Amino acid sequence: MIKKQKGGKSRMKVEKTTLTVSEAAFVLNCSDQIIYRLIHANVLGAYKDIGGRRWHIPEYSVTDYVESRMRDSVSVR
Percent of the chain with pLDDT over 70: 77
Phi, psi of 14 (to 5 degrees): -100, 125
61 pLDDT exceeds 50?
yes
Domains of the chain plus CATH, in order, are 15-76 (1.10.1660)
4 pLDDT exceeds 80?
no
- Residues, the chain: 77
Q: What is the pLDDT of residue 73?
A: 80
77 pLDDT exceeds 60?
no
Q: Which residue has the higher pLDDT, 73 or 23?
A: 23
Beta partners for residue 10, in sequence order: 4
C-alpha separations of 54 from 12, 20, 70 in Å = 27, 8, 28
| pLDDT confidence bin for 1, thresholds 50/70/90 | very low
